[in-house]
Amino acid sequence: MSNRKGVYTGNELIAIAAIDAGCRFYAGYPITPSSEIMEVMSKELPKVGGAFIQMEDEIASMAAAIGAAWTGVKSMTASSGPGISLKSEHIGYACITETPVVIVNIMRGGPSTGFPTAPSQSDVMQARWGTHGDHPAIALVPGNAKEMYYETVRAFNLAEKFRTPVFILGDEILGHMNTMVELPDPSDLDIVERKIYSPKQGEKYKPFDMSKGDVPPMGAFFRGYRFHLTGLNHNEYGYPTIDRDMIKMQQERMMKKVENHVEEIVKNELFNMDDADYVIFAYGSTGAAAKLASKMLREKGKKVGVFRPITIWPFPDRQIDEVITSGKYKGILVAEANLGQIIYEVERVNRGRLPIKDLLKVDGTPVSPTDIVSRFEEVF
C-alpha cells in the first residue's frame, strides 16, 4: 500500500473512505457544497471497476443507488439540503424496502436555496424525519477530517448491518476544510461485507423474514431466486398486503431493528468532562469549536467539558441521561448552527433537571470557539 499521507478536504476523504469501505456504485447530481465527493468518485470508481453515474436529478440519483444496491453492491449518493429534500421520497423507499445505502448531506444554509456556500446544521431534523411516515433513522455527524473518513466507513458498516439508509451529515466547513491526514491501509479497516443470502434447495427467499431477528437477510437480484420489492406495506415475501397484523409487525420490526440496537450505533466523544462543572453539547464542526472553547474557558478558570455526539440518530438518550443524573454538572450549553433543533432533543432527555441554554447561529458563518466562550460567559 502506497503512503497515503496528504492534505485532503473532508469531501475528498468521504469519497476515498467510501471506496475503501467497498462502495462500488455512486449516483449523484451536482450541488454545492458537496460536488467534490461526486468528482472524486467519477475519477476513482472506474479505476476499481465500480460504477459511477451522474444522473438527471437528485431524485434519480437516490433511485439509482437503491436499484444498484439490490444487485448486490454497496452504493452511495451525496448532496446538500435542497437535494436531500428531493431525494426524500426515495429515502422512504429505501427504509421500507430495507435497502442498505449511504447518503451524504454536506449541509448548507436553508431553507430552499438558502446559502449554498455557507456552513449550517439546519438539516439534522430532516435527517430524522425528512421522508413521510414512520421510519428508522441512522445519522452520523463527524466533527473533523479524520472522522469524515472513519465515520464514512462506519456508515457503510451500519447500512450493511441494519439494512437501512445511513446518513453522513457534514457541513460546508468540514467538506471544504483542508487537513493533513494519514489514511490507513484499507486492509486494516473493519469492514462489514455484504452477505447475500442463498436460499436452500426448494426454500423461497423472504426479503422481509421475521423469523431471523430484527434484520432480515439481504438478497440480491440475478442470483437464481426471484423476489419482489415494493414501497407498499408488504408481507415477508415482499408482496403487497392489507393484513393488519402483518403491517403492524413489519412496521414495528423496521423501527425496532434500530431501536433495539441503539448501543451499537451510538457514539460520543466526552472531552474535558471528568472535572467539569458545565457541559457544552455540540456536534459536527460546532463540536470541534466547542472543544477549543472548552480549552479557552479553562484558561480563564472555568471548568467546562464537551459532550460531542458522533451519532446524532438514534439520539444518545442514555448517555445524556447519565451525564445529567451524575449530579456533577450545573448546566448545559447547546451550540448548533441552526435556530434550535437538537436542543429540543437534549431538553426531552433532560426533563427540566439542569438549566439548558442555547447558542444558535444562522448568519452563514460557522459557530466559532469565541462565539461559544462569550455565550457561555453570558449565560453561566
Partner 1 sequence: MAGYINYEYYLRQDYRNLQWCPGCGDGAILQAFFRAVHELGISKDDMAVVSGIGCSGRISGYIDFNTMHTTHGRPVAFATGIKLAAPDKYVVVFGGDGDQTAIGGNHFIHACRRNIDMTIIVINNNVYGMTGGQYSPTTPSGFKTQTTPYGNYDSQFDIVKLAIGAGATYVARESVIKPVVLTKYIKKALQHKGCSVVEVISNCHINLGRRNKMKSPHAVLEWIKDHTVPLSRANKMSEEELAGKVITGEFVEVEKPEFTESYYKLCESLKGE
Q: Name the residues that contact partner 1, by CB under 8 A.
A: 24-25, 27, 46-47, 49, 51-53, 55-57, 59-60, 63-73, 75, 89-90, 93, 204, 221-232, 237, 239-240
Distance CA 173, CA 278 (A): 27
Element (H, E) at 160: helix 145-162
Dihedral sign computed on CA atoms, order 87, 80, 291, 16: positive
Q: How far is the CB of 197 from partner 1 (least distance, A)?
A: 14
Q: Please say which residue, 228 or 330, places its beta carbon nearer to partner 1.
A: 228
Q: Please say which residue, 180 or 242, places its beta carbon nearer to partner 1.
A: 242
Q: Please say which residue, 40 or 356, places its beta carbon nearer to partner 1.
A: 40
Q: How far is the CB of 97 from partner 1 (least distance, A)?
A: 8
Q: Which residues contact 378 (CB under 8 A, 6 or more apart)?
A: none
Retrieve residue 5's grid coordinates. Answer: 499521507
Distance CA 216, CA 113 (A): 39
Q: Please say which residue, 221 or 344, places its beta carbon nearer to partner 1.
A: 221
Distance CA 255, CA 247 (A): 12
Q: Which residues pair with 78 in a beta bridge?
A: 104
- The CA distances from residue 275 to 181, 279, 310, in Å, are 31, 11, 22
Q: Please say which residue, 7 or 232, places its beta carbon nearer to partner 1.
A: 232
| Burial label, 307 (beta-carbon count in 10 A; 0-12, 13-18, 19+) | buried
Q: Please say which residue, 99 or 350, places its beta carbon nearer to partner 1.
A: 99
- 314: cis peptide before it, omega within 30°? yes
Q: How far is the CB of 62 from partner 1 (least distance, A)?
A: 8
Nearest to 69, CA basis, from 194, 203, 210, 180: 194
Contact of 38 with 65, CB cutoff 8 Å? no
* Residue found by looking up cell 479557552 in the block: 296
Q: How far is the CB of 93 from partner 1 (least distance, A)?
A: 6
Nearest to 12, CA basis, from 30, 33, 32, 39: 39
Q: Please say which residue, 226 or 256, places its beta carbon nearer to partner 1.
A: 226
Q: How far is the CB of 126 from partner 1 (least distance, A)?
A: 19
Q: How far is the CB of 74 from partner 1 (least distance, A)?
A: 10
Q: How far is the CB of 169 from partner 1 (least distance, A)?
A: 23
Distance CA 72, CA 74 (A): 7
Q: Please say which residue, 71 or 179, places its beta carbon nearer to partner 1.
A: 71
Q: How far is the CB of 225 from partner 1 (least distance, A)?
A: 8
